[in-house]
């Protein structure tokens, strides 16, 4: 815990807790933001990608709560100004006017910034947990990191036009002509 700009870190566990509290705030904010991203999506595939990741994000929050328990602490939120800013960028895309397909691309642009931020954070915290000998925690953090990475890849494939590619896919090879 600590006020912004007023931290005291005497060991790596203090830092681990701080990083978990920051992520706990970030995930809570995302749980509020993702339904709005889904609602603003024109493509039904993009909408369902956001809703799927909303479910995963609820799981990320629960995993963090388990980790606080494991460390003998109450789950606490440390305001994450970076995530507030990323979500603000997302809401500007939600409010954007213009072509529906381009606006979907704008939602993806904002969402991928969020996923990369989470990937950076979870990678760091996983390494801290490893260094502190919390092997179970490190594995759980890696699981979340993998889900953030998969969400990011999914968004890339939607941005690359996976929707159109699927619609245009020719008959499977092997069918006789």
Residue closer to Fe ion (CB basis): 30 or 100: 30
Q: Specify the length of the chain in residues.
A: 177
| Shortest spacing between CB 13 and Fe ion, in angstroms | 22
Among the listed residues 135, 109, 113, 115, the one whose alpha carbon sits nearest the alpha carbon of residue 60: 115
Type and span of the H or E element at 35: helix 12-40
Q: Which residue, judged by CB position, is nearest to Fe ion in the bound state? A: 60
Residue closer to Fe ion (CB basis): 22 or 148: 148
Helix 81-94 vs helix 100-131: crossing angle, to nearest 10: 160
Tell me the number of residues near Fe ion by CB under 5 A.
Answer: 4
Residue closer to Fe ion (CB basis): 78 or 148: 148
| Shortest spacing between CB 60 and Fe ion, in angstroms | 4
Considering only 118, 126, 128, 140, the residue that binds Fe ion (CB under 5 A) is 118
| 41 CB burial (10 A radius; 0-12, 13-18, 19+) | buried
**In this chain, which stretch among 7-15, 66-74, 143-151, 156-164 interacts with Fe ion, using CB under 5 A?**
143-151
148 binds Fe ion (CB under 5 A): yes
Considering only 29, 60, 103, 154, the residue that binds Fe ion (CB under 5 A) is 60
Handedness of CA 34, 108, 64, 8 (dihedral sign): negative
**In this chain, which stretch among 12-20, 37-45, 89-97, 115-123 interacts with Fe ion, using CB under 5 A?**
115-123
Rounded to whole angstroms, the Cα distance separating 148 from 56 reads 9
Residue closer to Fe ion (CB basis): 33 or 40: 33
Measure the N-to-C terminal CA separation of the chain; round to a whole number of Å: 68
Question: Where do contacts with Fe ion occur on this chain (CB under 5 A)?
Answer: 57, 60, 118, 148
């Amino acid at each position: 815990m600590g006020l912004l700009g007023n931290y005291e870190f005497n060991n790596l566990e203090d830092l681990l807790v701080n990083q978990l509290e920051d992520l706990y705030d970030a995930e809570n904010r995302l749980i509020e933001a993702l339904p709005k991203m889904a609602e603003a999506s024109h493509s039904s595939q993009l909408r369902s990608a956001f809703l799927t990741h909303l479910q995963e994000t609820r799981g990320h929050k629960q995993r963090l709560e388990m980790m606080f328990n494991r460390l003998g602490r109450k789950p606490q939120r440390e305001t994450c100004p970076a995530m507030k800013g990323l979500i603000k960028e997302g809401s500007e895309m939600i409010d954007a006017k213009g072509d529906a397909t381009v606006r979907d691309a704008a939602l993806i642009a904002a969402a991928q910034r969020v996923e990369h931020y989470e990937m950076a954070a979870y990678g760091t915290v996983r390494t801290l947990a490893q260094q502190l000998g919390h092997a179970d925690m490190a594995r759980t953090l890696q699981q979340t990191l993998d889900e953030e990475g998969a969400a990011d890849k999914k968004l890339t494939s939607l941005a690359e036009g996976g929707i159109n590619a699927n619609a245009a896919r020719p008959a499977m090879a092997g069918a006789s002509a």
